[in-house]
Chains A and B, each alone.
Chain A
Amino acid sequence: MYESKTTEITPMERMIAALNGEKTDRVPVHVYPRWAPLEYLGLTFKEAWDDPDLWVKAQILGQERYQYDCVIDYDMMGPVEEFIGTKLKYPENKVPMIEEPAIKTKEDIKKCNWKLDPRKDGNMPKVLYVIRRLKEELIKRGRGKQHVPIMTWGSCPSRTCACLTGFDRWFELIIEDPDWAQELMELAFPTWFEMVKAEIEAGADIVWVNDPVSAADCISREHYEKLTQPMERKFIEAIRRETGVNITMHPCGNWHDRMDLVAQNQADCYFLGPMDIRLCVDKITEQNKAGNARCKAINGNIGAATPSTTDGRTALPYASTMNQSTADEIEGECKEVIKAIEEEGDLRCVLGPNCWAPAKVPPVNYDAVVYAARKYGRYDGKPEA
């Protein structure tokens, strides 16, 4: 067999280095590829949910086609909450949705399955199977070495609770019965924590956690600081302590007024929502310098169909989208994002959208993101040949 002398940086090396604040050849690209691989193979989400090998195939071939730097498992809230007691429905080409929340009254807590074993209960083993199969397939394709990392997902306690009570009930509880809200988060905490540990055990290399219910679009800074943020931090610190993997947190939505608190959650990386990139870089850097945070990288934050929440410090049209903009516009946004994150010197950029890339993104727009990383994101300043 021909022995290549080329020493290329692999996506695995590029991603892990960035999450540890180190430079390789260029910034990595991570687009949270849920829809692009499915569409590439002409699959619906349900088809890939019903046959996990199709999900694996789509992830592998999608990465080979688009050349981004990370693959994912199903990355969705369903399996844990479903086993606890929330009834889900499975649309043909959407992610599962809550049909009936598990908890309406305090009495309902007793009916829930709080003790779970991700290796055998409900649909959780399906997620673990996907991770194991991704690992096998990536190692096979890398001729014995895994070249592309697998990112898995965990739900912060506040989000898990909202999925168990229904989102409107959760918001009411925050005001009307914060002690019960706290009790629920304590109950929810170990469920996803067990799942994340099993995901890492199955072969995931990186974990991302998210919270879409504590943004400034949803609750006050005071409620975040007193109620949900302490549990978020506890969740992230527990994952780090038990698994040692790199952790990315996605503050979903607009968190401008509380980025200082978010930074203190001790994630390695923040996958930014539709927020002003320069404001976030400044606030995270400030917390790093004060010794309150250990953030090494920022993942984001090209518009992925989101409302504009810039405060005017960055000239980015955050309402523009991965599926509405032209490739040239996407390239321009990427250039600005890379510059804003990397110019301070202490933070690495993981280029990507500001939430899961939506469905029906023109393939050329994904190409534009990878192209921009190669053109503007090289650390030696020379565009890739």
Chain B
Amino acid sequence: MGVLDEIKESIIAMKKTESPGLTQKALDEGLDAEEILDKALVPAMDTVGKQYEEGTKFIPEMLIAAKAMMGALNILKPKLTASGGKSQGKVVLGTVEGDVHDIGLKLVGMMLEGAGLDVVVLGADTSKEEFLEAIKEHNANILGMSALLTTTMPEMKEVIDFLKENGLREKVKVMVGGATLNQRFADEYGADGFAPDAAQASVLAKRLLAEQSK
């Protein structure tokens, strides 16, 4: 088994203490950081995402696998930055104001990073003003919002309306998710896309970026 496969397997097997060392080993062997990202980290998280969708992995396994991936990514980051590595797009993520649930948000953030996107995670209980500032500051392509509570879901519409008022809505794609959400809510709020879980959020983000670049 080559080192790329070993990295991939360590992530899928949730060996978060092994993945950074293997990644360093791959760099030491002269492999390019982008190649490690594309051929080990991205496919590993794709597999983990599929396993979640199939019901063979669950939130605990997803969290630990994502941490294993982040451990590897942290080794790669200085190299990716130094080489001016490709950024496929920038995403600002946050759970809406009044909602402190952020497990899903963290998973989405890690999945998107694993998919090669630049991610800014604002965390839980994010106000519309904080979303707006972050989009401007980071020149984001996508805004991702999460809500777990039926009482906080409508905040998503507030944020989208706020982006419109401030002339930013056309510049950024908006994706939403969270256990209580569905496509009907997403449409009602005026979002560009809805993803039911972290794995599909990654697919959706790529689709929205492709639409944006047309």
A: which residues have CB within 8 A of B?
Answer: 35, 89, 91, 93-94, 97-99, 167-168, 171-172, 174-176, 216-220, 223, 253, 257, 304-308, 319, 321, 323-324, 355-356, 358-360
Contact of B60 among A35, A89, A172, A358 (CB under 8 A): A172
Kindly state the separation between the CA atoms of A319 and B14 in the bound complex, as whole angstroms: 33
A217 and B59: CB pair below 8 A?
yes
User: Cβ of A216: which chain B residues have Cβ within 8 Å of it?
Assistant: 55, 58
Q: Which among B20-28, B145-153, B165-173 touches the partner chain?
A: B145-153
Kindly state the separation between the CA atoms of A304 and B150 in the bound complex, as whole angstroms: 8
Shortest beta-carbon distance from B59 to chain A in Å: 5
User: Cβ of A219: which chain B residues have Cβ within 8 Å of it?
Assistant: 58-60
A307 and B196: CB pair below 8 A?
yes
User: Cβ of A223: which chain B residues have Cβ within 8 Å of it?
Assistant: 58, 60
User: Cβ of B101: which chain A residues have Cβ within 8 Å of it?
Assistant: 167
Shortest beta-carbon distance from B201 to chain A in Å: 14
B103 and A168: CB pair below 8 A?
yes
Q: Which among B33-41, B129-137, B178-186 touches the partner chain?
A: B178-186
Q: A168-B63, A171-B103 are in contact. Are A305 and B58 (CB under 8 A)?
A: no
User: Cβ of B98: which chain A residues have Cβ within 8 Å of it?
Assistant: 91, 94
Contact of B180 among A89, A171, A306 (CB under 8 A): A306
User: Cβ of B61: which chain A residues have Cβ within 8 Å of it?
Assistant: 175, 220
B180 and A97: CB pair below 8 A?
no
Is B64 at the interface (CB under 8 A from chain A)?
A: yes
For the complex of A and B, list the 5 residue pairs with the smallest distance between their C-beta atoms, beginning with the closest. Answer: A358-B150, A305-B150, A171-B60, A97-B100, A319-B182
Q: Could you tell me how many residues of chain B have their Cβ less than 8 Å away from some Cβ of chain A?
A: 30
User: Cβ of B151: which chain A residues have Cβ within 8 Å of it?
Assistant: 35, 93-94, 358-359
Q: A94-B98, A175-B61, A358-B150 are in contact. Are A257 and B55 (CB under 8 A)?
A: yes
A172 and B100: CB pair below 8 A?
no
Kindly state the separation between the CA atoms of A182 and B125 in the bound complex, as whole angstroms: 31
Kindly state the separation between the CA atoms of A91 and B125 in the bound complex, as whole angstroms: 11
B180 and A172: CB pair below 8 A?
no
User: Cβ of A171: which chain B residues have Cβ within 8 Å of it?
Assistant: 59-60, 63, 103
- Per DSSP, are chain B's interface residues mostly helix, strand or loop, or mixed? loop
Is B106 at the interface (CB under 8 A from chain A)?
A: yes
Q: A98-B100, A358-B151, A359-B151 are in contact. Are A305 and B60 (CB under 8 A)?
A: no
- Per DSSP, are chain A's interface residues mostly helix, strand or loop, or mixed? loop
User: Cβ of A360: which chain B residues have Cβ within 8 Å of it?
Assistant: 154
User: Cβ of A257: which chain B residues have Cβ within 8 Å of it?
Assistant: 55
Kindly state the separation between the CA atoms of A174 and B86 in the bound complex, as whole angstroms: 37
Shortest beta-carbon distance from B45 to chain A in Å: 17
Kindly state the separation between the CA atoms of A94 and B60 in the bound complex, as whole angstroms: 27
User: Cβ of A307: which chain B residues have Cβ within 8 Å of it?
Assistant: 179-182, 196
Contact of B58 among A35, A98, A218 (CB under 8 A): A218
Residues of chain B from 36 to 83 with CB closer than 8 A to chain A in the complex: 55, 58-61, 63-64
Shortest beta-carbon distance from A86 to chain B in Å: 12
Shortest beta-carbon distance from B101 to chain A in Å: 7
Contact of B179 among A94, A172, A253, A358 (CB under 8 A): A253
User: Cβ of A97: which chain B residues have Cβ within 8 Å of it?
Assistant: 99-100, 125
Q: Which residue of A lies closest to B182 (CB)?
A: A319
Kindly state the separation between the CA atoms of A323 and B58 in the bound complex, as whole angstroms: 30
Chain B 90-114 per-residue mask, 1 if CB under 8 angstroms from chain A, else 0: 0000000011111100100000000
Contact of A172 among B63, B152, B154, B181 (CB under 8 A): B63
Shortest beta-carbon distance from B165 to chain A in Å: 22
Q: Which residue of B lies closest to A220 (CB)?
A: B58
Shortest beta-carbon distance from A192 to chain B in Å: 21
Kindly state the separation between the CA atoms of A99 and B55 in the bound complex, as whole angstroms: 31
Q: Which residue of A lies closest to B188 (CB)?
A: A324
User: Cβ of B103: which chain A residues have Cβ within 8 Å of it?
Assistant: 167-168, 171
